[in-house]
Chains A and B, each alone.
Chain A
């Protein structure tokens, strides 16, 4: 990474400059501790027995032989934890282990704790489960048509409902049909986004430790205990709540610790079976119990991107203004709800910027099928519709003979405005994003002008910076940070934020160092422990920098105020004239007057007593409409992105070589540009992988056995290697958000979105072939090329700007 073109901010000492990650050296030297690195005296190893059937009733489970095996200390089944849970409080539909029914190949039915992994595995073989197989649903459309003659994936809540439907959302804004009918051009398209999974490098891992008694005496006289769980989770707070509820332990006696996490991407943002199992097995055995998933189990735990079946109609005037958007979306949810209720809303709600839509309707339905549950993956719920919509815009631009970047400019929604679905948009740097990628890619000289086989494509997007409301309704802050300074000049930051590799520990350290004027290595970030850190809701929906950052500023400034006051008193000056920077307290009018920050802290401690402060952040509540569902998609700020992708298509093989992606992203302010670029590159890489190769797919009855994961390994589930990865150029755009910490918004998820449609649009520019189905894998592209050859449409599309508007009668352009 170079410093080229990177603005070095002068308003702050550290903020805006390239800085190391606080845990970077530990990670690169191997010193960093992940959950599986932890070993405790007497620790047992657990394994989970999983269902070999996609849908079956559990008739009986006999664990006696397993229990009798030498070295086995405990066995649990669903009956031991018969309480449902679910990350969304309205859809608890999972048991820690299945109680009476299994719903996908890989669903957990029993767990064993033994002296070592091999003994635990032998014990699993001794557990006898009798199943009664049930007909299963694999296709979401078939699941939608189910009439109850065979068991639904879940029992319906009401007798006449289809139990295969998780959620249906229908929302309509403006005069959709009227405006569509009055459009000069309407493009209609059908799109399919194949499911994909997260492939975080660290498999899920958890350790449970039950300390009976533990000094706690319950009111009813029974002795209780204390439960500690270490887990590679991205939501320690929600895990804390669910462990207490499901295992019936007082929440005050549950402690969740989160060691460093080796990537998550949304795949660790809800409780999983292993966390309950290690806890329960420890309660039974009285010993610490560890479970580490195999890679195969990670594929079964899944919660990755939903397959989306999408239909879009998009209208525009001859002058290139969007008129109306109509969407119909079916989400293939897999066996459990997970975050699905939210996904069903996000599928529609997050589309309404950065372009102005005079009218918009979406109909979104999430369906249960007998496959591993889908959930949130980087860009939750909005990557799929964004793909379809940005391709729609490309088609519409072509139909209207407009340059697609120009089309996007024409429809820019602006800043400080509301979307058609009434979401408040504040800062918006989308126009700068478009300009950056247009300039850097030499778009004007090259779009539609490269030789046949080579092409450029553009796409734009927006994403939330955190959700406005917590997952369970409450009025408490979304984030809290606690700070204390000591006599050595050191600052301790107690942060509940979930470090999953994205850099949030570093972010709070930068803020503490900036605000209190200490060198960065004077800051200790104490983290990942619900016993001593204030609550943060978790690392999801790109909320952490914005929310925890604001909480950290709040805490730091309270402390700074005290230090300034104490120093001002000593120097007999105004507190506002005291600066804290570079390890010193300085008098602004004459910086020769200074003292070491440690002395300043000591003065403050002498004046105020022991120094500590707390800070918190909660979202503004007037940023959305009043209709049902209006709060879902509401965020205190939105990020904006534009990509241009350059591809070369091998027309004989269908192999698409993505040569370069220009990634421009409005992150509000880059607190540390190195970390922002890392997120931008990582996002573009991940989108590129989904575009070209990733697919979480299953065998069917003609291929072995229906419902079996096609390839639950990283050899066959292909993600790009470094050799496959295109050159990525990050172009940071800073719109300085009025409410973000120093103006910052998110950078972790937004920059993924446009990769996929930009590549699709580039393929069209290269060979005139539309790829409306993911992935653009060589066989899929080859099939599309063959079809185009057959139809004699395989050629470079022509750019004909200003060729005149189409006739005023709306003409349907079928999305091939």
Chain B
């Protein structure tokens, strides 16, 4: 078995305590929620913090409730609770669907929605053991100075690989962040940046405390589709989330599509409104939307699965998601 590097484990009872402990060990501490991403990464020696600050025992970070016109999900709520929560299922079926497609049952029982939002980017040259990476000669994201995917330049393009953020984006979800300097709200849409090394605007000492989804978003038709090789366990090779406001007769008032597992952050498909607004989602429109998506998506060789196939699957999965949405 791979060994973990040594660390001290802190179990604060409140967010305030967590921030405090983090401050005491600034630069040498990380938050851990379910640990399903962080622990394997530590075993691979991608992170070797001297201190882990556990979030799952913090009561304020748990629960799913309706309040103030929003569905509020505590960041340390488990993925399986999110997937099976009746409010989520009724109002935001695409989110339940996405959560239910994360990893496998054991990992969903321990992984959290906050951890999913903060998931580290993934790459075939990065998610490997210390020995393997040494044999490789390391890479830009960790310990090295070249990128093996894009061999020129100094940019890491490791793949954003989380299932729920694209759906959260199409539902206008907002993340609440609490740090030593107080609280702020960041729409999930603006949470990510195009840098594979650190792909979010969250500061290392900030906690995501909750995700708020406006109840108004429940009016939207939603769909989610995931490409993977196996029916369980696998990270997405491509994820498509779509939400649309439709008139009674099916005419599109607004539509948004987000794809991920390509580059370092989820990609909002552009030009969709131009195609679809004022029209119904008939075969013609679906084909045009799929074509737009295809033109914009260029999977890279950051995963071991054939990137040309992944690219060819973009219009297929967009079409399938749109069909699901039409049927919803």
Q: Could you list which residues of chain A lie within 8 angstroms of chain B, going by C-beta atoms? A: 50, 52-53, 105, 117-118, 121, 203, 292, 294-296, 652-654, 693, 703-705, 708-713, 715-716, 718, 720-721, 723-724, 777-779, 782-783
Contacts and interface: CB of A to CB of B under 8 A. Distances in A.
B234 A724 contact: no
Interface string B229-259: 1111111000000000000000000000000
Contacts of B13: none
A654 B309 contact: yes
Contacts, number: 78
A653 B316 contact: yes
A168 B316 CA distance: 48
A782 B230 contact: no
Determine which residue in B1, B131, B306 has the highest number of CB atoms from chain A within 10 A of its CB, and name it. B131
B110 interface: no
A223 B272 CA distance: 84
Contacts of B231: 721, 723-724
Given A121-B3, A711-B304, A779-B305, A105 B229 contact: no
Contact of B304 (A53, A705, A710): A710
B230 A53 contact: no
A715 B233 contact: yes
Given A652-B316, A705-B135, A721-B104, A783 B309 contact: yes
Interface of B: 1-3, 6, 104, 124-125, 128-129, 131-132, 134-137, 148, 227, 229-235, 301, 304-306, 308-309, 312-313, 316
A98 B148 CA distance: 30
Given A704-B148, A721-B230, A778-B229, A294 B1 contact: yes
7 contacts: A296-B129, A653-B313, A654-B309, A704-B124, A723-B231, A724-B231, A782-B312
Contact of A52 (B6, B131, B230, B233): B131
Given A709-B132, A779-B306, A292 B1 contact: yes
Contacts of B2: 294-296
A103 to B, nearest CB: 14
B320 to A, nearest CB: 9
A572 B234 CA distance: 72
Given A294-B1, A716-B124, 18 more contacts: A52-B134, A121-B3, A203-B1, A292-B1, A653-B227, A693-B230, A704-B124, A711-B124, A712-B129, A718-B229, A720-B230, A721-B233, A723-B230, A723-B231, A723-B232, A778-B229, A779-B305, A779-B309
Nearest to A716: B304
Given A724-B230, A779-B309, A118 B3 contact: yes
10 closest pairs, A vs B, by CB? A779-B306, A52-B135, A779-B309, A723-B231, A704-B148, A721-B232, A652-B316, A723-B232, A704-B136, A705-B136
A509 to B, nearest CB: 33
A180 B71 CA distance: 74
Nearest to A725: B231
Contacts of B234: 715, 718
Contacts of A713: 128
B125 A704 contact: yes
Nearest to B235: A715
A117 B5 CA distance: 11
A239 B301 CA distance: 43
Nearest to A710: B304
Contacts of A711: 124, 304
B316 A296 contact: no
A203 B2 CA distance: 12
Contacts of B135: 52-53, 105, 705, 708
Contacts of A693: 229-230
A685 to B, nearest CB: 14
Contacts of A783: 309
A346 to B, nearest CB: 30
A777 B229 contact: yes
B119 to A, nearest CB: 14
A703 B131 contact: no
A736 to B, nearest CB: 41
B160 to A, nearest CB: 17
B162 to A, nearest CB: 15
A141 B104 CA distance: 41
A50 B301 CA distance: 27
Given A652-B316, A779-B305, A779-B306, A712 B230 contact: no
Contacts of B124: 704, 710-711, 716
B33 to A, nearest CB: 20
A710 B137 CA distance: 15
B57 to A, nearest CB: 27
B272 to A, nearest CB: 21
Contacts of A118: 3, 6
A114 to B, nearest CB: 12
Contacts of A292: 1
Nearest to A693: B229
B232 A782 contact: no
Contacts of B131: 50, 52, 296
Nearest to A652: B316
B231 to A, nearest CB: 4
Contacts of A53: 135
Nearest to A782: B309
Contact of B309 (A105, A718, A724, A778): A778
B232 to A, nearest CB: 5
A177 B230 CA distance: 46
Contacts of A117: 3
B206 to A, nearest CB: 29
A710 B1 CA distance: 19
A653 B229 CA distance: 11
Contacts of A654: 309
A778 B308 CA distance: 12
A292 B312 CA distance: 43
Nearest to B6: A118
Contacts of B235: 715
B286 to A, nearest CB: 14
A292 B128 CA distance: 19
A703 B148 contact: yes
A113 to B, nearest CB: 16
A131 B308 CA distance: 38
Contacts of A723: 230-232
B230 A718 contact: yes
Contacts of B128: 712-713
A666 B3 CA distance: 46
A704 B136 CA distance: 6
A671 B134 CA distance: 51
A724 B232 CA distance: 8
A36 to B, nearest CB: 9
Contacts of A105: 135
A782 B312 CA distance: 9
A712 B136 CA distance: 13
Determine which residue in B1, B235, B306, B309 has the highest number of CB atoms from chain A within 10 A of its CB, and name it. B309
A693 to B, nearest CB: 6
Nearest to B317: A653
Determine which residue in A52, A117, A710, A783 has the highest number of CB atoms from chain B within 10 A of its CB, and name it. A52
A361 B93 CA distance: 61
A778 B305 CA distance: 10
A725 to B, nearest CB: 10
A710 B124 CA distance: 8
B110 to A, nearest CB: 16
A314 to B, nearest CB: 31
Nearest to B307: A779
A306 to B, nearest CB: 21
Nearest to A695: B304
A642 B227 CA distance: 33
Contacts of A653: 227, 313, 316
Nearest to A292: B1
B3 A708 contact: no
A108 to B, nearest CB: 12
Contacts of A652: 316
